[in-house]
């Protein structure tokens, strides 16, 4: 087995352990046993827990690069802001696009991290969400200049963070079966409402939402990517 394949095997073995027991409670001995390697070999591939965190995050994002790259190439604007927010809510509420790791497992990894030292969550936000957040901030600036978003006492950075929190909490509510809260709408309609709520909370005007936010068109566009 090549070094690349061995690292991937370790990551795949680590995921269910971390999702079930958390990072702090999972020992290197358990990780090595699950991956079928010795502890020294485990340390050779991953000299620190942070290194393993990053590899898990890289692995979890495979399969979604096409969409994220297309979004990253868009110029800052009101329309791009709508696409970014819809993409964010679609991922959190519907679990799409489907990556190499189930969204259920991703959410459980985050919960476990929050309950422990938060290291995995911090690295995830720094490595994966901060660049996305920066793009949302640039779009908010462009949309404000265009008159499509009203000025707010909330910073553009925190507007992006708060929007993510809305979608993230919806995903957590749906982890148990049945869900902890019944929104009494389909998942697709919940996505549409969450995206509208986030855009409105960011300060987008009713006119701008009516002009740029078309859930049916957005759903078709993302399904084709």
**117 in the same domain as 169:** yes
SS3 at position 138: helix
- 151 and 45 in one domain? no
Four-residue CA torsion sign, 207, 208, 209, 214: positive
Highest mean pLDDT, choosing among 2-16, 52-66, 198-212: 198-212
Helices 187-201 and 78-89, interaxial angle, to 10°?
140
Angle at 139 between CA 135 and CA 142, to 5 degrees: 140
| CATH number of the domain where residue 22 is located | 1.10.10.60
Same domain, 49 and 132: no
Same domain, 10 and 119: no
22 and 117, same domain (yes or no): no
Highest mean pLDDT among 12-21, 87-96, 97-106: 87-96
50 and 125, same domain (yes or no): no
Residues 53 and 74 occupy one common structural domain = no
Per-residue pLDDT reduced to its tens digit, 51-86: 887 787 777 766 566 777 888 899 999 999 999 999
Instruction: Tell whether 52 and 69 lie within a shared domain.
Output: no
The CA-CA-CA angle for residues 134, 94, 225, to 5°, reads 70
pLDDT in tens, 158-180: 999 999 999 999 999 999 999 99
Number of domains composing the chain: 2
Domain range for residue 196? 65-224
- State whether 13 and 106 are in the same domain: no
Residues 178, 81: one domain? yes
Same-domain check for residues 24 and 115: no
């Amino acid at each position: 087995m090549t070094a690349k394949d061995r690292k991937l095997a370790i990551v795949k073995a680590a995921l269910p352990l971390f999702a079930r027991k958390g990072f702090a409670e999972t020992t290197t001995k358990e990780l090595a046993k699950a991956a079928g390697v010795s502890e020294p070999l485990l340390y050779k591939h991953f000299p620190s827990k942070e290194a393993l965190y990053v590899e898990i995050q890289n692995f979890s994002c495979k399969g979604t690069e096409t969409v994220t790259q297309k979004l990253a190439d868009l110029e800052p604007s009101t329309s791009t802001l709508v696409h970014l927010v819809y993409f964010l809510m679609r991922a959190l509420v519907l679990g799409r696009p489907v990556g190499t790791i189930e969204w259920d497992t991703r959410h459980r990894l985050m919960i476990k991290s929050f309950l422990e030292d938060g290291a995995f969550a911090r690295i995830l936000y720094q490595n994966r969400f901060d660049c996305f957040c920066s793009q949302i901030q640039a779009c908010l600036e462009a949309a404000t200049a265009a008159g499509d978003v009203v000025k707010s006492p909330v910073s553009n950075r925190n507007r992006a963070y708060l929007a993510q929190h809305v979608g993230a909490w919806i995903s957590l509510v749906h982890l148990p079966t049945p869900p902890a809260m019944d929104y009494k709408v389909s998942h697709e309609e919940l996505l549409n409402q969450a995206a509208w709520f986030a855009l409105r909370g960011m300060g987008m005007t009713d006119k701008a939402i009516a002009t740029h936010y078309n859930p049916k068109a957005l759903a078709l566009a993302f399904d084709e990517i």
